[in-house]
């Protein structure tokens, strides 16, 4: 892993910064620094248009191989892109799930037909995707899948029935990747399939979940005889767990850089306010701001180290600590934001009395250490899979 950048990389940095300065302005000026956690509902139409603007400039899917329309950028160049995107105030990406999760998974495991069918829309910033993993009553047990997929030979289609929950931006997405049980007699990680499902069909119902912030980024998604074609299963029936885990590898890989981009813009705003309102003169606040900066740098270098794995989504063991680390860091950042704001953190000064960005951040981050696997689950994963310790005793049903 390299920690410095070559002259060629620095030239790439100038290219990125120049394009952003010339294009993230005018009609796109209002979306600078918007769309982060707790702010996903803001400027949706404008951020969709921004996705296509990025694509026109060749700045989507920059890490994809050139044969699939990407730039074939190195990890170092992807880091540079995300750094400059954060520095310029680039908005939260609407297409990041397709670009950083679905795209790499299809490139690694998809058929030629699947790549031809789905990759162009993702790369163009036109097709948005959501994730169909979590289910009601499953908690952090991703393998506790109840959604069923049955193949109908008459129609040559898979028929899906079940429910997913906490599906981010499902109401804005054209497609969803769904893990469903192809063998009704199976349990756990066996007998699963990984499906590519069109959200615009009669068998799909999306119901928003209003959150503590008053917004509804998350949704419940119901599949009632929803269908996808025989060719829209990635990998073989029963092999969905392997594909699903590979996708999570990509989630913990390059996509983490985009997440850190949002974190950086939040930290920058908090530091700016601390300087303006005098909070930076408080020794304890200064210490916590420094700790936050250090923590974000550690996060970045750990991401670069864990991405030194294979191109099939496999990661180094450093990836095991990532969720626990960023979730705790981000929760602490939300609390720091409130302390920097002081009494203003509890006030809405003028109509329409909507939460400001940092108030939403604080409320949203209360969930960071719960969703996507609680901190307790993450510690078990580190102990058992990274350190090779005995499995925690499980209760019997």
Residues 6+ apart with CB under 8 A from 253: 303, 306, 307, 309, 313, 315, 319
How far apart, in whole angstroms, are the C-alpha atoms of residue 42 and residue 310?
A: 36
What phi and psi, each to the nearest 5 degrees, are found at residue 373? Answer: 105, 115
CA–CA separation, 20 and 23 (whole Å)? 5
Beta strands in the chain (DSSP E): 129-132, 148-152, 157-164, 175-181, 192-198, 204-209, 218-229, 233-238
Angle between helices 322-341 and 255-277 (to 10 degrees): 20
Of 251, 266, 269, 318, which residue is the catalytic one? 251
Asked whether 249 and 315 are in contact (CB, 8 A), the reply is yes
CB 293 within 8 A of CB 68: no
Q: How far apart are CA 237 and CA 180, in angstroms?
A: 10
Q: Minimal CA–CA distance to 44: which of 31, 25, 60, 27?
A: 31
Dig out the tokens for 376 from the structure. 């307790």
Helices (H), the chain: 7-23, 44-56, 75-87, 96-97, 103-109, 112-123, 240-251, 255-277, 283-306, 322-341, 357-365, 375-381
Is 234 in contact with 196 (CB distance < 8 Å)?
yes
- Catalytic: 251? yes
Q: Which residues are catalytic?
A: 251
């Amino acid at each position: 892993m390299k920690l410095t950048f070559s002259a060629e990389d620095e030239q790439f940095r100038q290219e990125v910064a120049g394009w952003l300065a010339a294009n993230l302005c005018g009609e796109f000026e209002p979306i600078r620094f918007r769309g982060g956690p707790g702010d996903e509902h803001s400027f949706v139409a404008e951020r969709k248009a921004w996705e296509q603007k990025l694509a026109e400039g060749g700045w989507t899917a920059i890490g994809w191989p050139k044969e699939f329309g990407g730039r074939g950028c190195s990890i170092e160049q992807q880091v540079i892109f995300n750094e400059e995107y954060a520095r310029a105030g680039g908005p939260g990406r609407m297409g990041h799930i397709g670009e950083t999760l679905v795209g790499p998974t299809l490139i690694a495991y998809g058929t030629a037909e699947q790549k031809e069918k789905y990759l162009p829309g993702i790369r163009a910033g036109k097709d948005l995707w959501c994730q169909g993993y979590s289910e009601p009553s499953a908690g952090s047990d991703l393998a506790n899948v109840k959604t069923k997929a049955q193949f109908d030979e008459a129609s040559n289609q898979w028929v899906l029935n079940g429910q997913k929950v906490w599906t981010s931006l499902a109401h804005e997405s054209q497609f969803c990747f769904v893990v469903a049980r192809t063998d009704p007699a199976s349990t756990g990680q066996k007998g699963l399939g990984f499906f590519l499902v069109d959200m615009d069909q009669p068998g799909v119902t999306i119901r928003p979940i209003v959150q503590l912030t008053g917004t509804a980024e998350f949704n419940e998604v119901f599949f009632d005889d929803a269908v996808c074609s025989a060719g829209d299963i990635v990998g073989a029936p029963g092999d969905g767990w392997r594909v699903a885990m590979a996708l999570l590898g990509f989630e913990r890989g390059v996509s983490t850089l985009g997440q850190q981009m949002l974190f950086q813009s939040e930290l920058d705003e908090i530091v700016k306010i601390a300087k303006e309102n005098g909070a930076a003169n408080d020794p304890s606040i200064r210490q916590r701001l420094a700790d936050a900066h250090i923590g974000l740098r550690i996060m970045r270098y750990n991401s670069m180290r864990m991405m030194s794995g294979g191109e099939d989504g496999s990661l180094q063991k450093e990836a095991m600590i990532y969720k626990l680390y960023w979730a705790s860091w981000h929760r602490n950042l939300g609390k720091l934001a409130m302390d920097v704001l002081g009494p203003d953190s509890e006030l809405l000064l003028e109509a329409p009395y909507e939460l400001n960005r940092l108030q939403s951040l604080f409320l949203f981050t209360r969930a960071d250490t719960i969703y996507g696997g609680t901190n307790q689950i993450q510690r078990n994963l580190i102990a058992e899979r990274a350190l090779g310790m005995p499995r925690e005793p499980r209760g019997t049903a």
